[in-house]
């Protein structure tokens, strides 16, 4: 049984995929002259907003960032919801005495708001956001910061996320890397990052944490 678990936020705890895609489409449309397809946006899940927008339009970040955030804030409550089974799973982990933290490339204010909106804030005494580190996933610094704040050694923890960046950061930090199979990111992209374990549901992940029976390297 793991002593602690670090969770990615977007797409792992909270389903923000529709919000993120629509915010990208709204923000990029005037610059690209077209509507980007969801499949074009999915590869940028798990990295900072600046990096994601710059991948499409590198020269207008100062204009795009506030417009993205304005649109996202206006539609956040309508488009964001907990991922299936997350609350029930967190309750089981908490009852078992497992330490829980969030490691995200999202900024702190929207991370906290999303956790509150979905009724998940009380589970997480530790939240590492984009403002708390100098390098971001897939670098290991955010994961190591989460371990430090939870008081855990890397061998005692797992990190679960829904993008290759989460897996690479977990591996680089020396924690068990777990891929969330409910991701909108194409499975082949996540598997290319070589997660140690893949789970299909939150319930399966909780069972893994509590009894150690995971499916190594399976989609």
Q: What does DSSP assign to residue 58?
A: T
What gap in Å lies between CA 53 and CA 58, rounded to an integer?
Answer: 7
10 classed as catalytic: no
CB 87 within 8 A of CB 121: no
> By C-alpha distance, which of 7, 16, 9 is closest to 184?
16
Catalytic one of 8, 15, 162, 166: 8
Please report the DSSP string for 120-176 in residue order: -GGG-SEEE-GGG-SS-TTSSHHHHHHHHHHT--GGGEEEEESSHHHHHHHHHHTSE
What gap in Å lies between CA 181 and CA 198, rounded to an integer?
Answer: 6
List residues with catalytic annotation: 8
């Amino acid at each position: 049984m793991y002593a602690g678990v670090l969770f990615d936020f977007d797409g792992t705890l909270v389903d923000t995929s529709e919000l993120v895609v629509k915010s990208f489409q709204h923000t990029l449309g005037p610059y690209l002259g077209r509507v980007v397809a969801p499949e074009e946006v999915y590869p940028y899940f798990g990295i900072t907003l600046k990096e994601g927008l710059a991948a499409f339009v590198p020269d207008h970040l100062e204009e795009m960032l506030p417009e993205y955030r304005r649109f996202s804030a206006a539609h956040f409550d309508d488009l964001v919801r907990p991922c299936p089974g997350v609350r029930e799973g967190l309750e089981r982990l908490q009852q078992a005495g497992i330490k829980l933290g969030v490691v995200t490339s999202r900024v702190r204010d929207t991370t906290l708001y999303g956790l509150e909106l979905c009724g998940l804030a009380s589970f997480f005494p530790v939240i590492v956001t984009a403002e708390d580190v100098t390098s971001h996933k897939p670098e290991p610094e955010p994961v190591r910061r989460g371990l430090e704040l939870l008081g855990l050694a890397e061998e005692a923890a797992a990190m679960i996320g829904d993008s290759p960046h989460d897996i690479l950061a977990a591996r680089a930090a020396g924690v068990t890397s777990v891929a969330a199979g409910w991701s909108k990111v194409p499975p082949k992209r996540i598997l290319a990052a070589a997660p140690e374990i893949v789970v299909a549901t939150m319930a399966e992940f909780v069972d893994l944490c509590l009894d150690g029976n995971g499916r190594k390297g399976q989609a």
